[in-house]
Amino acid sequence: MNVTIHPGRLSGTVRVPASKSAAHRALIAAALSDGLTTVHIDALNDDIEATLECLTALGALIDYDERKGRLIVRPVDGAPGLKRHLEGLAGKASSHVDYSEPLDLDCGESGSTLRFLLPVACALGARARFTGRGRLPERPNRALTEALRAHGAAIDADTLPMNVAGGLRGGLWTLPGDVSSQYVTGLLFALPLLREDSMIRLTTPLQSAGYVDMTLETLRDFGIEVIPTDDGWRVPGGQIYRTPEDVFVEGDWSAAAFWLAANAMGSGVDVTGVSRRTAQGDRAVEDLLGQAMIDASNVPDLVPALAVAAAVRPQRTVITGAARLRLKESDRLRAVADMLSALGGAVEVTSDGLVIDGGGPLRGGTVDGFGDHRIVMAAAILATRADGPVAITGAQAVSKSYPDFFEHFRALGGSVDVQPAGR
């Protein structure tokens, strides 16, 4: 669909949806646990649904009670065709692997689903075919797939589609820390299932460290021990995920960032549903809004929201540490720059970020959403300060993380006209 936003400041109260980052982690841990887990969650989105579908394909049974806002997860243990390494499968990958009749794991457009579940599927001894849509088949995984192959998994490609077959051996796992924290999270979920102990050693400093902190917090909640070292973590093997029975998924600071950016641009939105006692790195948005120099290496998802706020602030803002955004749902650096330029903003793309000269007049116009949920939401917030209507193409992309975004935008007094695509 396409939408047209009419300028005007927003006001009122909005409760942001559940964090998809937290939801992925809670659901995976629940599916690996020793019993029934109730995951309390107030909203789903496309990425969470992709993880649910993949966990179901792996053998978990998941019931959704939308009225009560909860998912009841029965774990994968005992699913047909899956055996744990604790039952003797460790290290039995072969150079002649039969990939016939694999489990179908469709990750949609969710990089988290793919990178978290790829090591888990191998640890479970699953024969599976991973697929995806959008830009996900273009996104890199080589550092992770090479590490998995080195420890016994058979994987026939480094990008989607890929066929995999377990099993995995423990030992020393060496990874770069500046490629994707999702690789680390996937291994942290998988390695406790192995018979042997493991060490994860990072060869470069970890970026997006807050996401790994979220993973470690979830693992603790499920009774998994992970010991930090100077350059990574030690993960004892032979562990059992112990269900806490109830898990409450906290609100999403990545979603809250857009409303907080609107406030920095003159709106008056009271954001609820988020906790300041959280491991989410995007909690930093409140501190970063208004800064002239922003290192986004640990909070790359905040860049679109920070950029639109910078566009109306009468100063130069320099954002660095964001080169990985080129590999998201869009080339997010280029997409942000094109969005700002289309509405009269002054922006330059650098090798790892953006330079924004803010404070100039913003005009109405048309913005390409690039099939990227964060670009669409950022454009809608920026449009509140334009001098005329702003049309955003491909606005349905918000369903990836925040399906109710435009409903909430309207409830805050925003003017939105919705048109089906092609009109």
- Tell me the catalytic residues: 301
Query: Rounded to 5 degrees, what are φ and ψ at 187?
Result: -70, -40
Q: Which fold has domain 20-248?
A: UDP-n-acetylglucosamine1-carboxyvinyl-transferase; Chain (3.65.10)
- For β-strands 354-357 and 346-349, DSSP reports them as antiparallel
pLDDT over 80 (residue 70): yes
Residue 86 pLDDT: 35
In the chain, what are the domain boundaries?
A: 2-16+251-419, 20-248
Spatial contact of 393 and 368, defined as CB atoms under 8 Å apart: yes
Residues of the chain above pLDDT 70, percent: 94
* Helix/strand/coil percentages in the chain, nearest 5: 35, 25, 40
Residue 421 pLDDT: 65
Sign of the dihedral through C-alpha 102, 104, 109, 110: negative
Same fold, 2-16+251-419 and 20-248: yes
The DSSP-derived string for 225-289 is --EEETTEEEE-SS--BPP-SEEEPPB-HHHHHHHHHHHHTT-EEEEES--SS---GGGGHHHHT
Torsion angle, alpha carbons of 249, 253, 258, 259, to 10: 80
Query: What amino acid is encoded at 162 in this protein?
Result: M
CATH superfamily of 2-16+251-419: Enolpyruvate transferase domain (3.65.10.10)
Three-class SS of residue 345? coil
Query: pLDDT per residue over 335-381, tens digit each?
Result: 999 999 999 999 999 999 999 999 999 999 999 999 999 999 999 99
* Residue appearing with tokens 């942001």: 16
Q: Residue 361: is the preceding peptide bond cis (ω within 30°)?
A: no
Three-class SS of residue 351? coil
**Lookup: tokens for 391:** 């049309």
Spatial contact of 27 and 71, defined as CB atoms under 8 Å apart: yes
- For β-strands 127-131 and 162-165, DSSP reports them as antiparallel
pTM above 0.75, yes or no: yes
Query: pLDDT per residue over 263-321, tens digit each?
Result: 999 999 999 999 999 999 999 999 999 999 999 999 999 999 999 999 999 999 999 99
Sheet of 103-106, strand order: 103-106, 127-131, 162-165, 154-155
Average pLDDT over residues 383-400: 98
Query: What amino acid is encoded at 169 in this protein?
Result: R
Task: Compute the C-alpha angle 320/324/329, nearest 5°.
Answer: 125
**Lookup: tokens for 215:** 């993973």
Residue 84 pLDDT: 41
Query: pLDDT per residue over 31-47, tens digit each?
Result: 999 999 999 999 999 99
d(CA 325, CA 328): 5
Contacts of 230 (CB under 8 A, 6+ apart): none
Residue 14 pLDDT: 98
